[in-house]
């Protein structure tokens, strides 16, 4: 029997390998952002929330153990030279309040919920979740840095073939 709308794939079990959990999260995030043409600025807002929350939690835990998080986890990854519009002398100052007024709060909430549910349901290790978020953050920051005007911030996220 053919179904036009197949049942959504259930999340990997808690015992599944971390790679399966990350793949599931990746599929959910890419599918949602593509299906709803989610603007890069909205994706950035959600990723920023998660990188901050997870990194703060892991940093506190590391400090309790007398350790520090590696820079690859604790800091945004550097952008490549030439990724930034500022590198080519373009004026990239936008009115932040105006940009924030134009975002779709409902879409942001749904994207946030997708990420939170997968992380929690799969019991994804936080270090792996943070590293995963840093990769997404790098992709989105690269696209944001090339924004030539406020309209560019509302372009859908573009994924490289190997993402």
Which pLDDT score, from 0 to 100, does residue 8 have? 59
Q: How many CA atoms lie within 13 A of 91 on its CB side?
A: 3
pLDDT along the chain (163 residues), means of 10: 56 95 97 96 97 97 95 93 48 68 93 97 97 97 88 91 85
Please count the other Cβ atoms lying within 10 Å of the Cβ belonging to residue 13: 11
Which pLDDT score, from 0 to 100, does residue 32 have? 97
All structural domains of the chain with their residue ranges: 33-145
**Taking a C-beta distance cutoff of 8 angstroms, is the pair 125, 15 a contact?**
no
Which pLDDT score, from 0 to 100, does residue 74 have? 94
CA dihedral 104, 29, 46, 147 (to 10 degrees): -70
């Amino acid at each position: 029997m053919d179904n036009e709308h197949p049942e959504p794939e259930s999340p990997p079990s808690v015992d599944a390998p971390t790679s399966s959990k990350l793949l599931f999260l990746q599929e959910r995030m890419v599918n949602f952002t593509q299906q709803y043409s989610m603007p890069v600025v909205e994706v950035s807002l959600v990723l920023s929330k998660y990188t901050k929350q997870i990194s703060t939690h892991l940093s506190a835990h590391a400090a309790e153990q007398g350790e520090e998080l590696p820079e690859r986890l604790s800091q945004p990854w550097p952008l490549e030279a030439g990724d930034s519009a500022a590198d080519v002398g373009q004026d990239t100052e936008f009115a932040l309040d105006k940009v924030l007024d134009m975002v779709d709060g409902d879409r942001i909430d749904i994207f946030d919920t997708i990420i939170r549910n997968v992380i929690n349901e799969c019991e994804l290790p936080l270090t792996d979740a943070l590293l995963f978020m840093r990769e997404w953050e790098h992709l989105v920051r690269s696209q944001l840095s090339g924004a030539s005007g406020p309209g560019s911030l509302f372009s859908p996220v573009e994924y490289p073939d190997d993402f």
